Every structure is written in structure tokens, then in C-alpha cells.
Amino acid sequence: MKKQIFLLFSVLLGYSELSFAYDPTRGALQNAPELRIYGYNQQDIYNKYHPSVNIGNSYNNNGNSYNNNGSSYNNTNPVIVNLPSKYGAVAYSQKAGIISDSGNEDSLKQAKRVAIQKCEKVSSGESCKIYTWIRNGCLAVATGKKNGVRTIFRGYFSTEGNSERLALENCSSEKYKECAIIVPERCSLPTPLF
């Protein structure tokens, strides 16, 4: 009987040892940086094959994700920030030969209104109308002459530094001569909040 009790006690003790043994692949330590080399960090495996959720992280040769100093795990998901749009407009008066612009306005209506007001202020009361407008980009206007008629051309671009070149290219590609910028590049771009 003592043998049976000892055997039963041994089995129960062994069972309890197995049931309470710590498994490092489960629980809080599964994300520990030290255990990555053993393949325990399942989030790393997911991030490796789903890089769109991991913008901003860098990877080592094993495909594991670390922060900038390389010491700890960094699961940074992208943050999408919707910045308010900015608008600009160009107005002109054909009778007065005046052209004016606005930029970085909070609405298209405001951008058009400001451009028309500026144009009518210098056109001696002649009415002005909107020639073109832009949202979240840069705009420039060039003029060129062909057969004695002067025409205006616009150039749009999403970043600074290219719209004047595009306006001049649009002018010269139509075989106009004396192409020149009459409204320098004006950008209406959203400003980051931080």
C-alpha cells in the first residue's frame, strides 16, 4: 500500500510540475527581445510579412523589428493624420490686363474671393474672373505670344519648385514665343500640426 501511495504521489507531483512549468513561448515573455533569436516573438513574424503595418521600423538581417537604438522591440503602427486642405486661385481682368492670385486659403471659396478682390483693386473697377485654382499644390502662370495674340498658360505641381518650369513648357510646347512667367510659383500646401 505504501508503494501505491508513493506511486500516486509521484504521478500527482509530476503532473503538477508539468502543469505549472513555465513556457517562455507563452505569456509576457513571448515579446521579449532576448527570445527573438529562438523564434518566440510571433508579432515579429507577422510584421515581417505585413510591412504596411510597420512603417517606421527598421529590420536586421533576421527580419526582426527593432527601434532606432536597436535594443528593444518597436511595434509602431502608422498614424494617419488628415491635414486640412489649402487652396489658391488666379483671377484676371481681360479688359484691364490684370492678373492676381491668392494662396494658402482654408477654402476654395475664400481663395477665389481673395484673388478676385486683389484683381479688382488694381484693375480700376473692371470685373475680374477666376482663371484657375489649386488644392494642396503649387501653381504658376506664364504668358506667350503667337500671331500677335498673347495667351496665358498654367503650371501645376504637387511640391515646390516645378510649377514655373511646367508653365513655361506648356507655353513653348504650343509654339508660342516670348514665354515668360507672369505669376510666380505660389504654393498652397497643408502644414503639419507638429
Q: Residue 66 — very low, low, confident or very high, per pLDDT cuts 50/70/90?
A: very low
Q: Cβ of 132: how many Cβ atoms within 10 Å? A: 17
Judged against a pLDDT cut of 70, whether residue 85 lies above it is answered with yes
Report yes or no: 155 and 165 within 8 Å, Cβ to Cβ.
yes
The one-character DSSP state at 7 is H
As to burial, measured by CB atoms within 10 angstroms (0-12 exposed, 13-18 middle, 19+ buried), residue 112 is: buried
Query: What pLDDT, on the 0 to 100 scale, is given for residue 124?
Result: 85
Query: What pLDDT, on the 0 to 100 scale, is given for residue 39?
Result: 54
Identify any residues that bridge with 24 across adjacent strands, giving them in sequence order.
none
User: CA-CA distance, 188 to 30, in Å (whole number)?
Assistant: 48
| Angle 61-62-67 from CA coordinates, rounded to 5° | 80
Q: Residue 28 — very low, low, confident or very high, per pLDDT cuts 50/70/90?
A: low
User: CA-CA distance, 85 to 64, in Å (whole number)?
Assistant: 38
Q: Residue 193 — very low, low, confident or very high, per pLDDT cuts 50/70/90?
A: low
| Angle 115-182-177 from CA coordinates, rounded to 5° | 140
- Mean pLDDT of the residues in the chain: 75
Higher pLDDT, 107 or 39: 107
Identify any residues that bridge with 87 across adjacent strands, giving them in sequence order.
105, 135
Task: Find the helix or strand (DSSP H, E) in which 117 lies.
Answer: helix 108-122
